[in-house]
Amino acid sequence: MHTNRSAAIGLALLLDTLFGDPPNRYHPVAWMGSAIAAARRRAPPRGNGRRFVYGAVLDLVGAGLVATIGWGLQRLLSWLPAPLRWLGEALVLKMVFSLHGLGAAASEVKAALDANDLPEARRLVSWHLVSRDTSALDAARVAAATIESVAENTSDGVIAPLFYYAVGGLPAALAYRFLNTADSMLGYRDPEHEWLGKAPARIDDATNLIPARLTALLLMSASLLGGADAQGALRVWWHDRHQTASPNAGQPMSVMAGALNVELEKVDHYCLGRGQRAATAQDIGRAIRLMHIATALGAALLIGLPLLRRLVPALKAAKG
């Protein structure tokens, strides 16, 4: 990874902390969502094969287009002096992850539960964090759904974009964000999306294989540093990580269940940490804390490894 990418990661996290997300009308991910929605309306109305091919082409062509835009931006920024180049890349990178927004959304649910306002907590968790029906969830399951979303989105919404930026710069980070957004909008198993979203869902699974497992490792480390149950995190991860339909979602979620000693259940789908206590609003705050520690560790890893790789030869040369 280039030195400017290390600097941009640090600056992007600082920008996220200080300013959060811009309004949707200025947000590239919102633009991606609008483009995907427009393309979805033009999908073939019938024919499983035709809808499958359309979904695959939409996904890959869209990712290619945003990657090309990322390449162009990176080339333009390369002409600037180093500090401005780092800041420019950081501004674009900030747009493809949302640590501040995720923490704020989860905190809103926690505040509603703390105020014993269950209808508002149900509304908030459905509006911000999950796609499932929340109208019948009790307080414990609202808290559990929030914790699950924090864990999964630590991977999809934070670590994965930073990872792909570290590997391939702005083109890879923007392409990842498009693919993940397409999956979140199309990758359902209802009659409308079953074939249209099949390719986007499988492609998203493939792109998240490494980030999800990296996030699980980071959350385990965070549980050790953050006063949570590191042994429980490892135990529940080992037993429950394959319970979810997604090959990736169960990785960070099972770690979070074990670290907090809570049961995370989506009825008729999975139960992570079965037999552990019910989740509470306080556990949402603990999950947010683990998310921040894991992100700090991930950033340190992505920033530090390239610098270390440059430092070691220099030290060897100095000794020689």
Closest residue by Cα to residue 260 from 104, 121, 146, 147: 147
Query: What pLDDT is stored for residue 250 in this prediction?
Result: 96
Query: What pLDDT is stored for residue 143 in this prediction?
Result: 97
pTM of the model: 0.92
- Packed helices 209-225 and 250-260: angle between N→C axes, nearest 10 degrees: 10
Sign of the CA dihedral running 139, 99, 266, 242: negative
Query: What pLDDT is stored for residue 83 in this prediction?
Result: 87
The structure tokens listed for 207 are 């792109």
Closest residue by Cα to residue 154 from 280, 288, 7, 302: 288
Q: State the DSSP code for 25.
A: G
Query: What pLDDT is stored for residue 313 in this prediction?
Result: 57
Q: Please, what's the b/e burial string for 85-102 (b: 16 or more CB within 10 A of its CB; e: otherwise)?
A: bbbbbbebbbbbbbbbeb
End-to-end CA distance of the chain: 26
Query: What pLDDT is stored for residue 152 in this prediction?
Result: 97
| Under-70 pLDDT residues of the chain | 1-3, 306-320
